[in-house]
A and B are shown apart, each in its own frame.
Chain A
């Protein structure tokens, strides 16, 4: 902190020109800016104007170190699969200080993880593809301006032994450090180490415009204390698995006696089979879902109708007639006495969705 006091004169008017352009940052006035108590007095004696009198007193704005680290992107744990490599979680580091600063980054597995994360990498996604690429890794954020926000991504490998529902978290900590030199990681600002800040002073009384003290004003994050120049937040991974269930229903479409009016399961009747495959809520994408069904021996596949896939179900779970006649689906129309067989591969099944496979057969 500098504190000067002088009568307004030629020198101080130069200072006014130099310093009176401070923009107001949301993080506050830039450290090092002067605050001047400047006063002018006009008065009269005996009815005559007298020379204006003035006085100034100047103090300097100090450096307030404040920052946050926050999980962004997918809020909550990110779904991963066992053996997935470089699974990415996303954070944001915000410089709330009134000065440029470096931020030293560390990513640490949280206590109590269900499995061990390996190959943890902190990176800044230079090409914005959401994935780690060689050369994107960082150990600190260089020269983040006051009010600056920087996205920081963390990638980690999931062990093949991880099982559905298991979780593992990572704590990302950003520690503020001295800025001012591009490409150089500055000395960290912490409670015991502000003397390491070469610009800090102990109110030495020198008239030096660069006399700026450092005050730590940050809050406590997930794994750091208040006013320690650091902030941290937690994000993590949860191992998801597909949760596929199948139901099968049949509907009699027609019989030779009643037609389609209240048909009965008598020889010659046509039966539609509906196989619905559902992936549960929150489950991983189910891929390569293959449905295979062997018909009762006394049913004969309706090979004119064909086999439909990827249809939907109505409110009661019955198949809607909106499937695709799938040329890739197979049915094997065996000789009498040998069961016919149906199979088909459904499209990939996201969580909370149902796809169907349906076909028709005749009762012998």
Chain B
């Protein structure tokens, strides 16, 4: 997560430096993210079902749903809308994540479909990337109409 941290600092500085510009532009995009716990409920005589609960109690092994709501709050067309989500070091991407998900396994340097990426071990062995290698996730939307909104989600397990 070293790269992610640097990225975070850079982003923070960028946000500070350009804050006045944002105010002028009226910030075309609104974001709202949260985390929920996916709780499996086992009741007698019923199939186990899952329920989303507030993250009041989060311990290692819990399955979490990361959600980000986005909206184009401006009157203009937003293009090349790229959402990047550095993964918290305390979680790993759920193993059942689609292989088509665009991710980075090298701290945000390179992005590609999870199933297409490889990891080079310290021994020099190259292997396919696993969900547990993921450091960042990325989604790209070609355009966002004025007023258009949506939600991106992914599951992760507390390490």
Binary CB contact string for chain B from 98 to 121 against chain A (1 if under 8 A, 0 otherwise): 000000000000000000000000
Residues in A neighbouring B89, C-beta threshold 8 A: 20-22, 24
Would A57 and B35 count as touching, CB distance under 8 A? Answer: yes
Residues in B neighbouring A36, C-beta threshold 8 A: 88
A35, B64: Cα distance in complex, Å:
10
Q: Which A residues, 15 to 30, have Cβ-Cβ distances below 8 Å to chain B?
A: 16-17, 20-22, 24, 27-29
Binary CB contact string for chain A from 51 to 92 against chain B (1 if under 8 A, 0 otherwise): 111111101111110000000000000000000000000000
Residues in A neighbouring B32, C-beta threshold 8 A: 55
Q: Is A112 part of the binding interface, using a Cβ–Cβ cutoff of 8 Å?
A: no
Would A3 and B57 count as touching, CB distance under 8 A? Answer: no
Residues in A neighbouring B27, C-beta threshold 8 A: 51, 53
Q: Is B15 part of the binding interface, using a Cβ–Cβ cutoff of 8 Å?
A: yes
**Total A residues in contact with B, Cβ cutoff 8 Å:** 52
Would A39 and B85 count as touching, CB distance under 8 A? Answer: yes
Q: Is A98 part of the binding interface, using a Cβ–Cβ cutoff of 8 Å?
A: yes
Residues in B neighbouring A60, C-beta threshold 8 A: 58
B109 to chain A, nearest CB (A): 15
Would A55 and B58 count as touching, CB distance under 8 A? Answer: no
B54 to chain A, nearest CB (A): 8
Binary CB contact string for chain A from 32 to 47 against chain B (1 if under 8 A, 0 otherwise): 0111111111111111
A24, B82: Cα distance in complex, Å:
29
Q: Is A217 part of the binding interface, using a Cβ–Cβ cutoff of 8 Å?
A: yes
Q: Is A8 part of the binding interface, using a Cβ–Cβ cutoff of 8 Å?
A: yes
Would A39 and B12 count as touching, CB distance under 8 A? Answer: no
Residues in A neighbouring B14, C-beta threshold 8 A: 51-52
Q: Is A315 part of the binding interface, using a Cβ–Cβ cutoff of 8 Å?
A: no
Residues in A neighbouring B55, C-beta threshold 8 A: 1, 3, 59
Would A54 and B80 count as touching, CB distance under 8 A? Answer: no
Binding site for A on B (CB under 8 A): 1, 4-5, 8-9, 11-16, 18, 21-22, 25, 27-35, 55-61, 64, 66-68, 70, 74, 76-86, 88-91, 144, 158-159
